[in-house]
Each structure stands twice: as structure tokens, then as C-alpha cells.
Amino acid sequence: MVYLSLFFAALLSATLLPGSSEVLLVALKLDGHQGVSLWLVATLGNTLGSCVNYALGRYALHWQHKRWFPVTPKQLNKGQQWFAKYGKWSLLLAWMPIIGDPITLFAGIMRLRFAVFLVLTAIGKAARYAILLGLLGVTVG
């Protein structure tokens, strides 16, 4: 049940919804749970949450002309230009607060190949959790 909670916390925190899986990860590690298992579960959940953003981005433009669409044409254009400039490698930073979720969303909007998206996003997310656990004295790998 503990790992399932971490999985969903990590998944939700990677979507456009607010949340933080790092606090739960640290608390669970300090409570004695195995670091490698925590790392795998958090990485998987967080990566899958980013896949939700990718899918939303992939299909978001179907509704861009609706009045309720949450992004203005100017914001959309700015985001597309930003992703075109920094490209796929910016996905290594998809774990970062505030900018990470939009990066994964715009990867979908820009129709980046999903396999490339998945690999780069997973690398960044895995590295973040490994560093966090490393700060607690856990070796991953």
C-alpha cells in the first residue's frame, strides 16, 4: 500500500495538478523502506504522469479555438517557439517545478516522437530521484 501511495503521488505530481512526491519519498525512506524500490516506483509514477501531459498536449490543439481553452494563442505560440528552440533535450529537465509540466505538454503539442519523449523524460526523472535518495545516503544502481 505504501508503494502504491508513492506511485500515485508521483504520478499526480507530474501532471498539471499541484503536488510533491519528494516529501513522501523522503518520509518513506526515513521510515525504513528500501531505497531502490522507492526509486523505481517514484520514477515510474512520475514518468507516467508526464505521459498524461504529453497526451494532453498531443490532442490539445483540437480545442484551441474554443472559448474555454486555457491557453491564449500568444501563449501557445510562445511555448511552441520555446520548445522549438530548446527541443527534446529540455525533457531532461521535466522534473523541475513550474517549468517541467509545460515542457512535457509542449512535447506533445510539437508531436515529438513518443519513444524519444519517454526515454528522455524517464532519464531526467530517475536522475532526480536518485540524487534525492543519494542525499539521504542511499545508492541506486
Residue 141 lies in a domain: no
Taking the model in full, what pTM does it have?
0.87
DSSP string, 34-64: -HHHHHHHHHHHHHHHHHHHHHHHHHHGGGT
Residue 15 lies in a domain: yes
Compute the radius of gyration of the chain from its Cα atoms.
16
Per-residue pLDDT tens digits for 69-84 = 877 889 888 888 988 8
Query: How many domains are contained in the chain?
Result: 1
Residue 23 lies in a domain: yes
Per-residue pLDDT tens digits for 10-62 = 999 988 777 788 889 999 988 888 889 999 999 999 999 999 999 999 998 88
Residue 140 lies in a domain: no
- The rounded distance, in Å, linking the Cα atoms of 118 and 139 is 24
Residue 97 lies in a domain: yes
